[in-house]
A and B are shown apart, each in its own frame.
Chain A
Amino acid sequence: MKLTLKIWRQKNTSDKGGFVTYVADHVSKDMSFLEMLDVLNDQLTERGEDPVHFDHDCREGICGMCSLYINGKPHGPLQTTTCQLHMRSFSDGETITIEPWRAKAFPVLKDLVVNRSAFDRIIQAGGYVSINTGGVPDANEIPISKTIADLAMDAAQCIGCGACVAACKNASAMLFTSAKISQLALLPQGQVERKSRAENMVAQMDEEGFGACTNTGACEAECPKGISITNIARMNREYFSAVVSSDNM
């Protein structure tokens, strides 16, 4: 396959950036999308040009490090992570546009690499159960119904990649935040701090500059792990019931 790539190049956060067009020749349909970029980068290096920078690590769809906004969709045309996207999803002669995640709270660091530490700070605001190591009860002393455990696991599968933010026209982080709030609100272990967690995580989310939710459902449609917007509804309920009887003094 021969492809034309329009790739966003930006030297650093303060650089304005712009698209540069490259031609990728001899692309095999069995390559992953990132392997196609690896080959391009080796060619650029041999020609003495700066390779295209992009985030990636596990390349098996679980670490959440890879991003890329491909032809107007986060992680490209399939509902997977970019690392699991293969070139057989494209056709010979196609032009592919590759951009970084676009959101105020995710500043571009270089080319296609963005800073997602806002997500870490949202978790730091309350995405945990406040227990220390040791001194906990035996695991089977906390029975949990299978239905509830499964629902909590559905929410807990979020990989924190940020596709939900990139997909949202408001760059809202509601799906990400609600997945963690849901997981812990569903489980008995999360009950003690339920109210303060909802309040503090939502406050941090706002402080980071993420937008509001207008229920378009784009986040759910693009989430590579199929996190449901039911979680957003659950978070809203958690949040409103928390603010009317706030634990935050």
Chain B
Amino acid sequence: MILDSKIPAGPLAEKWTKHKFSSKLVNPANKRKYDVIVVGTGLAGASAAASLAELGYNVKAFCFQDSPRRAHSIAAQGGINAAKNYQNDGDSIYRLFYDTIKGGDYRAREGNVYRLAEVSVKIIDQCVAQGVPFAREYGGLLANRSFGGAQVSRTFYARGQTGQQLLLGAYSALSRQVANGKVKLFPRTEMMDVVVIDGHAKGIVTRNLITGAIETHAAHAVLLCTGGYGNVFFLSTNAMGSNVTAAWRAHKRGAFFANPCFTQIHPTCIPVSGDHQSKLTLMSESLRNDGRVWVPATQEIAEKLRKGQIKANDIKEEDRDYFLERKYPSFGNLVPRDVASRNAKYVCDEGRGVNETGEAVYLDFRDAINRDTRKIIEQKYGNLFEMYKQITGEDPYDMPMMIYPAVHYTMGGLWVDYNLMTTVPGLYALGEANFSEHGANRLGASALMQGLADGYFVVPYTVGDYLAQLAPKQVDDTHPEFAKVKEEVQSRINTLLNINGTKPVDYFHKRLGKIMWNECGMARTTEGLKGAKAEIQALKKEFWSNVKLMGTNEELNQTLEKANRVADFLELGELMVDDALNRNESCGGHFREEYQTPDGEALRDDENYAYVAAWKYLGEGQEEELVKEELVFENVKLTQRSYK
């Protein structure tokens, strides 16, 4: 089988314009005859639902939260990139495109990434027009900052709550369409499966989380905007409810899953404090601009620290190892996320980690406070220091902060073509749920950009092109396939409720998370991955025979919701391991210890692995089939990253 990415031919800068022109249009009077389902109401989902409704389509929007405004896009702190070049510092669409391709370690498509950079400028216009209160300069124009080591200032922001403000903007547009009657909202409703008829997506099956009612919804097209799957690691910076279920069920109905092993680990999170830990909190990357990362120079000193015999401030200058500054003199503490994360892991593996668990490194502001005064540091990072103190009970003005890497974002996801359509016609994936724009590693402030680009400016064109090819006939859920899928959903729920084992759902989720974190996390080895696969299979078996759920389906039942999601994580985990094993190279967030340069950096194998690994589901208990989409680079030259 050959995967057709449908990238239009021709010069990079003209591809999208040409493609929009060659896309078919739906007659304005006919738009009201088409129904579109949008699952998820984060940046991608809310913007897509609002934009499609504005065009005249009938939209049904679903989210599992109590309101569309809660989607996890809301938690993004830093900002959103756009190639506006408002700062006159040399930015351009081409430069944003180039930085994104390079940052992704050359594992993304040129055509898609260029389009993303191209529409980025329109996103800012749109959001400002909605009333998003971006940061401004005294002259009244928009402020920008440089973010994540970028050489230009192209990041727009709203204090430390950019995601919140962008989401509330998209939510307001969505709310306006709900009021207009063009969007029907289904909060507290979870998608359980996709209905595919004659090879085309024709609807979904959902569970009402309040009443437990299993319902069917028919439409001409289905858009999955359901976010990433970082919670497969149990501990991540994702929201507790973030899950892979919608994407995974679509995968089992024929949508290929691409590059599942590409996950991003963020270096500056608050470390784990104990077994009860339910999630990890990100501290903004900006802290590395002034904080110095270090651990004790020897294991003995670290040991004393962990036992509480000495404090960080007792350690003399010569006994501190500022390992990032030592190994990367030119970038120092500002090396990219994956490099910073991996090196923190190495020093902890050497037994030099701090915290009671030995899994943390210091991020020290002592020198910055002495240099700039406490007042200046307070102005820059006051809210972050406050947040840190709130969570850990320690004051970072007196004691160095402790940080450790945590899973933050998943670059992999459902395979989509240039139209954002999956391998199932009529089924689309947008935002973090798809795999397409970030390659093997995402740049800071680019997730928000992609979610909104997909929803506001890509899908309104590409869905139209698909719908124009369907007859404007009313759809309904009378086809027997709807009843069949509904029955399957129901029976799976019954099976889960009737296992009546001895262990709660979290017991399995935590164990899965440990396996994934240890063997498929920051550094991976053939041996470790093989062991992980066997462990996950055994855990899955145990889950289906020994999980204990309470209550019934016909009520609000949060353990049932969780069990459903964890069951899918167990299957996804195995595929992630397969994908990591298959990719015999290191690139971006995927680091295989066997493949590194003499300096210990990621060693790509462009000759053999410059492809998208798309996985096809073949059935219960069967190994998935790998289908490759070769990546073609016509504009950029593939180079080795170096931060020495």
Contacts and interface: CB of A to CB of B under 8 A. Distances in A.
Interface of A: 11-12, 28-32, 34-36, 38-39, 41-42, 44-46, 48-51, 53, 55-65, 80, 84, 86, 88, 109-110, 113, 115-117, 119-120, 123-125, 127-134, 136-140, 142-146, 149-150, 152-153, 156-157, 159-160, 183-184, 187, 189-190
Interface of B: 47, 50-51, 54, 65-72, 74-75, 84, 86, 122, 124-131, 133-142, 158-159, 161, 163-165, 168, 171-173, 175-176, 178-179, 185, 187, 210, 237, 239-241, 273-274, 276-279, 281-282, 387, 390-393, 456-457, 460, 502-504, 506-507, 548-551, 555-556, 558-559
A134 B172 contact: no
Given A57-B241, A128-B175, A189 B128 contact: yes
A137 B142 CA distance: 14
Contacts of A65: 65-66, 70
A109 B550 contact: no
Contact of A117 (B124, B138, B187, B457): B187
A29 B84 CA distance: 48
A206 B326 CA distance: 63
Given A50-B550, A58-B75, A139 B84 contact: yes
B502 A153 contact: no
B607 to A, nearest CB: 43
29 contacts: A11-B555, A30-B274, A30-B393, A31-B276, A32-B278, A38-B276, A46-B502, A53-B558, A55-B66, A59-B278, A60-B282, A62-B164, A63-B71, A64-B69, A64-B70, A88-B393, A113-B556, A117-B66, A123-B172, A124-B178, A128-B175, A136-B126, A137-B125, A139-B129, A140-B142, A143-B139, A146-B140, A159-B164, A183-B131
A50 B15 CA distance: 56
Given A11-B555, A45-B550, A124-B176, 12 more contacts: A35-B276, A45-B504, A51-B558, A60-B279, A128-B175, A129-B130, A132-B51, A133-B54, A137-B129, A157-B164, A183-B133, A190-B131
Contacts of B122: 134
Contacts of A125: 179
A143 B140 contact: yes
Contact of B72 (A42, A48, A63, A110): A63
Nearest to B238: A58
B239 A59 contact: yes
Which 9 A-B pairs give the minimum distances between C-beta atoms?
Answer: A143-B140, A128-B172, A136-B129, A153-B133, A139-B128, A133-B51, A110-B556, A152-B133, A45-B504
A140 B273 CA distance: 45
Nearest to B559: A51
B66 A149 contact: no
Given A12-B555, A45-B548, A57-B65, A156 B74 contact: no
B134 A149 contact: yes
A55 B556 CA distance: 11
A49 B240 CA distance: 22
Contacts of B129: 129, 131, 136-137, 139, 142, 189
B589 to A, nearest CB: 22
Contact of B128 (A28, A35, A142): A142
Contacts of A189: 128-131
A187 B134 CA distance: 11
A48 B548 CA distance: 9
Nearest to B547: A45
A127 B177 CA distance: 12
A35 B277 CA distance: 7
Contacts of B282: 60
Contacts of A116: 66-67
Contacts of B457: 133-134
* A interface majority secondary structure: loop
Among B47, B54, B131, the one with the most A-chain Cβ atoms within 10 Å of its Cβ is B131
A132 B54 contact: yes
B133 A187 contact: yes
From A64, A86, A156, residue with most partner B Cβ within 10 Å: A156
Q: A51, A128, A160 — which one has the most chain B CB atoms within 10 A of its CB?
A: A128
A1 B136 CA distance: 48
A58 to B, nearest CB: 4
Given A62-B74, A109-B210, A136-B129, A157 B172 contact: no
B165 A156 contact: yes
Contacts of A156: 133, 158, 165, 168
A148 to B, nearest CB: 9
A124 B67 CA distance: 12
Given A32-B278, A86-B393, A133 B456 contact: yes
A139 B86 CA distance: 10
A11 B555 CA distance: 9
Nearest to A154: B133
Nearest to B68: A120
Contact of A60 (B130, B185, B281, B550): B281
B279 A59 contact: yes
B550 A119 contact: no
Contacts of B276: 28, 31, 35-36, 38-39
Contacts of B549: 45
B86 A140 contact: yes
B125 A138 contact: yes
A80 B390 contact: yes
Contact of B126 (A133, A143, A149): A133
B142 to A, nearest CB: 6
Contacts of B504: 41-42, 45-46
B65 to A, nearest CB: 6
Nearest to B129: A136
Contacts of B47: 133
B75 A63 contact: yes
Contact of A149 (B67, B71, B135): B135
A204 B549 CA distance: 40
B195 to A, nearest CB: 27
B548 A46 contact: yes
A58 B555 contact: no
A80 B550 CA distance: 31
